A and B are shown apart, each in its own frame.
Chain A
Amino acid sequence: MAALYAHSPAATMRTSALKVAVPLYVAGIAAAEVCVVWVAVVPGVLAHAVLVFVLVNHYVLAQRASGTLAPPDRPRTDAALIVLAVVPLVRITSLATALDTEPVYQYAAAGLPLLAGGVAGVRLLGVAWFVPKLRAISWRQQAPIALSGMPLGYAAFLIARPEPLVEGSSVSRLLLAALIVVVCTGFAEELLFRGVCQRGLSGVFGRFAYLGSTFLFAIAYLGVRPAGYAVFVVVAGLAFGFLVEHTRSLLGVALAHALMNVGLLLVWPALLD
């Protein structure tokens, strides 16, 4: 099947067309995000909504045209179209669920829709890739990656110096906040960007898909201040993408991202400020 796919002129043409279309869509997504961050929120959200509609329909039409051929080790090339909708969906849902409430609940409200999108993306791209057999995971490899989240969290805190996410010292509130930060930021972002986006883009860009997913990640972080912190997170995201490509596991980077955010938002602000 792989050979049949590789020699199919139609498949080659489709991949070439997507290599042009994907950067154009990414430019559109970046423009919509710039509008949200620096120009006006509502027109920017409207532009994101139009992009989601166009991407979804391009994907549906491409599915009909392409039939069922796909290489066995990579997702269908058309999947790149649907994973591009992740950033517009992140922005639409996070602003639609913006609550005038305690910050920690904002993270929960914004993160839960993303998890729903992540689960749908995993189902679309194949559960087998995302859920490796536990015995197949190399803990010797993944544990250092996961633990890198601790120094990363400290470095992120030194750059960003955020206010503590939770006031007071109630253990139950701290544990709830930690659970929300771990699930709704660390795991959700890694599932979407290093999981769904990177896997979806690999059908078109192969082993360099992590550069594309990092670019999408950078667009999603345009609204983060200070700018130095945004640059720091994007560089960490690039390293995470590279590690996922070479270790074939999301586990280490998801734990690292979760530890980094717990340190940044809960631990270091409480200890040092």
Chain B
Amino acid sequence: MTSTVNDVTSALLGLADFDVVSLRIDSIAAGLLIVLLVEREVLAAYRGRAPKPELGGLLVAIGPLLAAFFLVVVVRIFDVR
């Protein structure tokens, strides 16, 4: 009923191959996170000390992806249901 949890979530959870589709989505999110983290390091190294707004912009994307990554890892390791 919100922008985050809605009929798309329900449809995803109702899929017969939910585990496969979920793994693909997690892989896309993890891939994007890795690319952005590497870019942040490259940017910081290339510029010596990159200007704050550039790194801040990267963090806007890295922050939610990193939080989602830790949540997924915690849920899968500890099987929190």
**Are A110 and B4 in contact (CB-based, < 8 A)?**
yes
- B48 interface residue per 8 A CB criterion: no
A96-138 CB contacts (< 8 Å) to partner B: 96-101, 103, 106-107, 109-117, 119-121, 123-124
Contact of A41 among B12, B56, B64 (CB under 8 A): B12
If A60-B43, A189-B3, A223-B8 touch, does A98 touch B22 (CB 8 Å cutoff)?
Answer: yes
Kindly state the interface size class of chain A when it binds its partner: 35 or more
**Are A49 and B56 in contact (CB-based, < 8 A)?**
no
**Are A113 and B68 in contact (CB-based, < 8 A)?**
yes
Contact of A224 among B1, B13, B58, B61 (CB under 8 A): B1
**Docked CA distance A121–B77 (Å):** 30
A48-94 CB contacts (< 8 Å) to partner B: 49, 52-53, 56-57, 59-60, 63-64, 76, 78, 81-83, 85, 89-94
If A56-B58, A119-B63, A124-B53 touch, does A94 touch B4 (CB 8 Å cutoff)?
Answer: yes
Contact of B9 among A81, A98, A160, A217 (CB under 8 A): A98
Kindly state the interface size class of chain B when it binds its partner: 35 or more
**Are A63 and B51 in contact (CB-based, < 8 A)?**
yes
B1-31 CB contacts (< 8 Å) to partner A: 1-9, 11-13, 18, 21-22, 24-26, 28-29, 31
**Are A95 and B9 in contact (CB-based, < 8 A)?**
yes
Q: B residues engaging A (CB < 8 A)?
A: 1-9, 11-13, 18, 21-22, 24-26, 28-29, 31-32, 35-36, 39, 43, 51, 53-54, 56-69, 71-72, 75, 80-81
Name 12 interchain pairs, CB-CB below 8 A, sorted by A: A49-B32, A56-B61, A60-B43, A60-B54, A78-B53, A85-B61, A95-B9, A98-B9, A107-B5, A114-B64, A117-B61, A124-B56
